[in-house]
Amino acid sequence: MWLVEGFQIALNPFNLLVAFIACWIGTLVGVLPGLGPTSAVALLFPISILLPPETALMALGAIFYGAMYGGSTTAILLNIPGEISSVPATIEGYPLTKQGRGGAALVICAVVSFMGGIFALLGLAFLAPLLAEFALTFGPYEYFSLMVFSLTCVAGLSGRSLRRGIAMACMGLFIALVGAEPGSDTFRLTFNISHLFSGFDVISVVIGLFGISEVLIGIGEKSQAIFQGKIGSLMPNRNELSLGLKAGLRGSILGTVLGLLPGVLPSISAFISYSLEGKVAKERSKFGRGAIEGIAGPEAANNATAVSGFIPLMALGIPTGPVMAIVLAALLVHGVIPGPLMFTTHRALTSAVIASFLIGNVILVILNIPLVGIWVRLAMIPYRILAPLILALCFWGAYCIRNSLFDIWIAVFFGILGFVLKRYQMPAAPFVLGFILGDPLELYFRQVAALGPLAAIFQRPMAVGLLSCAVLILIVYTVFREKQEKGVTVEED
C-alpha cells in the first residue's frame, strides 16, 4: 500500500509535466554525441534545487535514463555512439540500418530499455535493503577480480581472432595510462603536453574510432544514402521481437545486479551483456553483421544499471557513479539523508521516487516509439549531405566535453586510427573496453597491493570465484572458437 501513496504524488499534473520534459531532454542529450547523462544531470542540478524533493529526483532520474536510451539512436542510424554504453548498439545496429531494419532496432531498444528500467525498479521497491547489504561485502579484492572478469568480455568482442582482440584490449589499457598517476603528482606519457595531464577523454576516443573513421571509409564509396530502399514497416517482426525480448530479459537481470556495485557504470554492464549474448544468443552467427540480440541485451543492461544505481544510494547512501553522486548532493540540499531511514522516516518521498521512475519509463516508451520514423529518415539522406553533418556532430561532440580544440584533434587522430584498424580487420570494441577499464583496474590493483601480498586474494571466496569464472570463460571460448574455425575449414574443403 505504501506505493499507492507514491503514485498519488507522482501523478500530480506538474510532476508529470516535469517528467515528460526531462525524458525529452534526456533523449535529446543522448542523441547528441558528447553530451552524456552526467553532463545533462549536472546542468539540471541548479534547477532541481528550486523544485520539491520528489519532483527534483523525478527530473534527475528521467533525464538520466532518457539519455541512456537516446545514445542508441545515432549509434544505430549513423554509427556514432552517443554514449560509451551505445558502442554495442553501434556494432550491431548500424549493419541493420544498412539492411533497412534500423526502425525495428530502435523500437526494440525502446522496449528493452523499458524492460530493464522496470526490472531494476522491482529490485528498488522490494529488494533494496537486502541487495545493498550484499554490495557492501565487496572490497578491493572483489572489485579487482570483477574488473579482471570484465576484461574477459574481450573474448566476445574480438570477432574471428581472439589474439587480435586481446592485443587491442592491451592497447586500450596502455592508452588509459596517459595522464596523472593515481594518488600522486606524477604524469605519465604526457610528453609535457598540458592537455594530456588529465588523459584522453573517452568520448573523443569513441567518436573518433566509430564516427570519424566511418566517414573516412565512406568517402568515395557511398555516393547514395546509407540505406537506399523503402523504409517499410518500422515494427520488428515476430522473430526479432522474440529474440529481443529474451535478450532484454537477460540484460535486465545482469544490469540490475551489476548496478548495485560502486564503480560499475552502465557502459561496463553493456559490454558484459554484449559478451554474454555472444555466447548464449540463438543467432550468434549474426554477431558483427546485425544481431538484434546484440543490441537488446546491452541496451536493457545499461538502462537497468542506470536505475539500479538508486538502490545502494537510497538504502545506504552510497553513490555508484558520478550521476548518483549528483543525485546524492540534490538529496542533501533538500535535507534528506539517504540510508535506512529513507524507507521509514522518508517513506513518502521514497515511494514517490519509485513510482515516478515507473511513470518516467512509460513516458520514455510513449515519447520515443512515435519518433522512430523521423529518426530512421536520417539514414535516407544522401551520403554527400550526411557525411559533413556527421563530421560536424563528431567535432561538436568532442569539443563540448572540455571546450577544447585539442579534443577535436584527438578525435581526428583516433578516427584515422579507427580507419586503419578497420582496413586491417582489427576490432575497435576491445580497445574501448580496455580503455574504460584501465583506470578502475589500476585503482583496485593499487588498493590490493597496498593491503599486503597479492596471494591474499585467494583467501577471498568471492574474488576467487570471479577470477575462476574469468579463466573458465577464456578457456571455453578459445575451445569453441577453435572448433568453429575447424568447421569452417572443413566446409571450405
More confident residue, 16 or 160: 16
The CA–CA distances, whole Å, from 361 to 172, 260, 304, 356 equal 34, 20, 11, 9
Structural contact between residues 93 and 71, judged by C-beta atoms closer than 8 angstroms? no
Structural contact between residues 31 and 73, judged by C-beta atoms closer than 8 angstroms? yes
- Give the confidence band of 481 by pLDDT, cuts at 50, 70, 90: low
- How many Cα atoms are found within 13 Å in the side-chain-facing hemisphere of 325? 9
- Name the H helices within 231-346: 238-258, 266-280, 292-308, 310-316, 322-333
Lowest pLDDT segment from 132-141, 222-231, 374-383 = 222-231
| pLDDT tens string 264-319 | 778 788 888 888 888 788 887 788 788 888 888 898 888 888 888 777 777 666 66
Structural contact between residues 26 and 310, judged by C-beta atoms closer than 8 angstroms? no
The secondary structure of 91-129 as a DSSP string is HHHHHHHHTT-HHHHHHHHHHHHHHHHHHHHHHHHHTHH
Q: How far apart are the first and last CA of the chain?
A: 67
User: What local confidence, expressed as pLDDT, does residue 230 receive?
Assistant: 55
User: What local confidence, expressed as pLDDT, does residue 133 receive?
Assistant: 62
Would you say residue 226 has pLDDT above 50? yes
Give the residue among 330, 335, 310, 332 at the shortest CA–CA distance from 321.
310
Contacts of 474 (CB under 8 A, 6+ apart): 152, 155
User: What local confidence, expressed as pLDDT, does residue 413 receive?
Assistant: 92
User: What local confidence, expressed as pLDDT, does residue 488 receive?
Assistant: 42
Q: Average pLDDT in the 460-480 region?
A: 80
Q: Distance between CA 174 and CA 269 in Å, rounded?
A: 22
User: What local confidence, expressed as pLDDT, does residue 482 receive?
Assistant: 56
Q: Distance between CA 146 and CA 443 in Å, rounded?
A: 13
User: What local confidence, expressed as pLDDT, does residue 231 receive?
Assistant: 56
Q: Beta-carbon neighbour count of residue 342 at 10 Å? A: 22
Helix orientation angle between 140-151 and 266-280, rounded to the nearest 10 degrees = 50
| pLDDT tens string 70-126 | 778 778 877 777 677 788 888 888 888 888 888 888 888 888 888 888 888 777 667
More confident residue, 21 or 342: 21
Would you say residue 414 has pLDDT above 80? yes
- How many Cα atoms are found within 13 Å in the side-chain-facing hemisphere of 217? 19
User: What local confidence, expressed as pLDDT, does residue 193 receive?
Assistant: 83
Structural contact between residues 251 and 406, judged by C-beta atoms closer than 8 angstroms? no
Is residue 382 classed as helix, strand or coil in its secondary structure? Answer: strand
